[in-house]
Amino acid sequence: MRYTPTPIRRGMRTIGENIRNQRKLLGLTMKMVADRSRISETTLRNLENGQGVGLDATLSVLHVLGMLDYVVTATDPYETDVGRLRAMEQLPERVRVAKFED
């Protein structure tokens, strides 16, 4: 099994709890959300319990719960302080790290 750092595990748990709370606030059962997301109830349960599931399944659930746009906005680099400062600069095609010789 692959090691998952503590901050990542904590984030997965928190996101899972947020998804579960949103589902309950909307009055939706796990079966309803799973069916609408086209995933299994087991996958939804794993997501809500902070266990790893695929990005496509996660985004599908967020879409059903009306939360997808918020996540898309939260990951927009131009919404960060650095992104706003560098918005006028052209993004490089690739990012390369210089190799150092011993």
Asked if 58 contacts 11 with a C-beta cutoff of 8 angstroms, the reply is no
User: What pLDDT is stored for residue 102 in this prediction?
Assistant: 63
User: What pLDDT is stored for residue 17 in this prediction?
Assistant: 97
* Residue, of 91 and 49, whose pLDDT is higher: 49
Q: How far apart are CA 101 and CA 87, in angstroms?
A: 34
Asked if 19 contacts 46 with a C-beta cutoff of 8 angstroms, the reply is no
Widest Cα–Cα separation across the chain? 62
Question: Would you list the domain boundaries of the chain?
Answer: 6-78
pLDDT tens digits for range 51-99: 989 999 999 999 999 999 999 999 998 888 888 788 777 777 788 888 8
Arch. (CATH architecture) of 6-78: Orthogonal Bundle (1.10)
